[in-house]
A and B are shown apart, each in its own frame.
Chain A
Amino acid sequence: MEPICMAFAKAQKTRSYFKGFQVQLKRRSQGKTDYRARIRLINQDKNKYNTPKYRFVVRFTNKNIIAQIVSASIAGDHVLAAAYSHELSHYGLEVGLTNYAAAYCTGLLLARRILKKLEIDEEYEGNVEATGEDYSVEPTESRRPFRVLLDVGLIRTTTGNRVFGALKGALDGGLDIPHGDKRFAGFKKDNKQLDPEVHRKYIYGGHVSAYMNSLMEDEPEKYQSHFSEFIKKGVEPDTIEEMYKKVHAAIRADSAQKKSEKKQPKEHKRYNLKKLTYEERKAKLVERLNALNSAKRNNDEDEDDDE
């Protein structure tokens, strides 16, 4: 049946359209999960029964980088360890929290954290000095390395994407992640080879300092506005590499999560309306009807008075 309306055109969405409409899976409709990829990442061999398959999840928000080690279960995914780029302020990094270098730091932090949790951090130091070369963990005598699979989510995997910065950080941190060097920053398609010098530059924020320098020369006003936070914290283009070296060292020294000193407020702030009870809703209705009736009565009285 077509809805009766004043349109001159034929109603497009009929009742039958709605009755036959199949909604997408929730997270697909929210545009957050790629189920095709997810099925392939999570699927564990049946003859391995309950052995968990871990994913190295990297997600970027506008101001943060989130790296997690997650295993899937029917009740819901279970996060083993997580690292956020806003934690990097504890290690001496306050600005540029979403660039390639920060992604490297976050990946590194997560790797050290999970290895510490699993008590193999001494055994698998990883690549202490970041050289930008392709590095894969070698299994030691006693315990095998911790294997995770990179989960990029919905991002476009182009060469030099920050996701691979995080991947590099995790690899250098000592995790075993199957990968190739094709998508690291500095891979030249012509040579089909990774240029470790270029990759190293990106890991230490060389591309950022180069841009800072070029802006300082050509457009100093844009430099002031674009890098205002850097200037405020006193980060100069020459000191960037040093800064990142220190952050890496600090992460390797102590990767434990620091509890924030803020106290939990006794009453949490409500972000949505509280649902009313049945009595409250009925009372509200009675109130509204009374108001309507009295307003009508006043109107009638006014009309009578006017006449």
Chain B
Amino acid sequence: MPAGHGLRSRTRDLFARAFRKKGPTHLTTYLRTYKVGDYVDVKVNGSIHKGMPHKFYHGRTGRVWNVTKRAIGVEVNKQVGNRIIKKRLHVRVEHVQPSRCHEDILLRIKKNDQLKAEAKAQGKIISTKRQPEGPKPGFMVVEGALLETVTPIPYDVVNDLKGGY
């Protein structure tokens, strides 16, 4: 009989719990709150059988579009053929973690708002744009440094044959 392509096919390792981390899930999973618009990572918890997403979505990140009693609605991108579709799924909270992908920009927004407020108070004009790292500045080599020229040594047959001759 062939293998079959059921819903959870080929998920033996994917949905397995981590080494020495089996058993009850810790309470933080249940105590977290999610709001519409938050970014979340979908990561299946194999010990909770209800509200599991399909294996395709394991490892995807999406935005919350709905919050129900025990589950979160997540909107995830999926490439189908030549286009990307926004797929809406409902996933139990045990299979979801808050994503840190958005953390950097949220911090930056806070910092920039602060900088802009300070600059406004002082009457200065500042740019909060991120700049790419430029070429490294020039420097003087330390005085008294000796230059060591490294060149390859000419091939010496006798030396190399020592082992196997």
Task: Tell me the A residues contacting B by CB distance below 8 Å.
Answer: 20-22, 24-25, 28, 35-36, 38-39, 42-47, 49-50, 72-74
Q: Most A CB atoms within 10 A — which of B22, B23, B72, B93?
A: B23
How many B residues are at the interface, by size bracket?
Answer: 20 to 34
A38, B25: Cα distance in complex, Å:
11
How far is it, in angstroms, between the C-alpha of A47 and the C-alpha of B21 when the chains are bound? 29
Bound-complex Cα distance A49 to B20 (A): 31
13 contacts between A and B (CB under 8 A): A22-B22, A25-B23, A25-B24, A38-B27, A39-B27, A39-B30, A42-B27, A42-B31, A44-B30, A46-B68, A47-B67, A47-B69, A73-B31
Partner of B21, one of A22, A39, A43: A22
B32 & A45 in contact (Cβ 8 Å cutoff)? no
User: Smallest Cβ distance from B93 to chain A, in angstroms?
Assistant: 6
Judge whether A46 and B24 touch: CB under 8 Å: no
Q: Mark B58-96, 1 if CB is under 8 A from A, else 0.
A: 000000000111111000000000000000000001000
Q: How far is the CA of A20 from the CA of B22 in the complex (A)?
A: 12
Q: How many A-B residue pairs have CB under 8 A?
A: 50
Chain A residues in 8 Å Cβ range of B68: 46-47
Q: Does B57 sit within 8 A of A, measured CB to CB?
A: no
Are B67 and A46 interface neighbours, CB within 8 A?
yes
Give chain B residues whose Cβ lies under 8 Å from the Cβ of A22: 20-23
B70, closest chain A residue (CB): A46
Which chain B positions have C-beta within 8 A of A39?
Answer: 24-25, 27, 30
Q: Mark B32-63, 1 if CB is under 8 A from A, else 0.
A: 11110000000000000000000000000000
In the complex formed, the residue of B with least CB distance to A73 is B31
Q: Which residues of B contact A73 (CB under 8 A)?
A: 31
In the assembled complex, B162 has its CB within 8 A of some CB on chain A: no
| B26 interface residue per 8 A CB criterion | yes
Q: Is B70 in contact with A72, judged by CB distance below 8 angstroms?
A: no
Q: Does chain A have a CB within 8 A of B159?
A: no
Cβ–Cβ < 8 Å partners of A74 in chain B: 28, 31-32
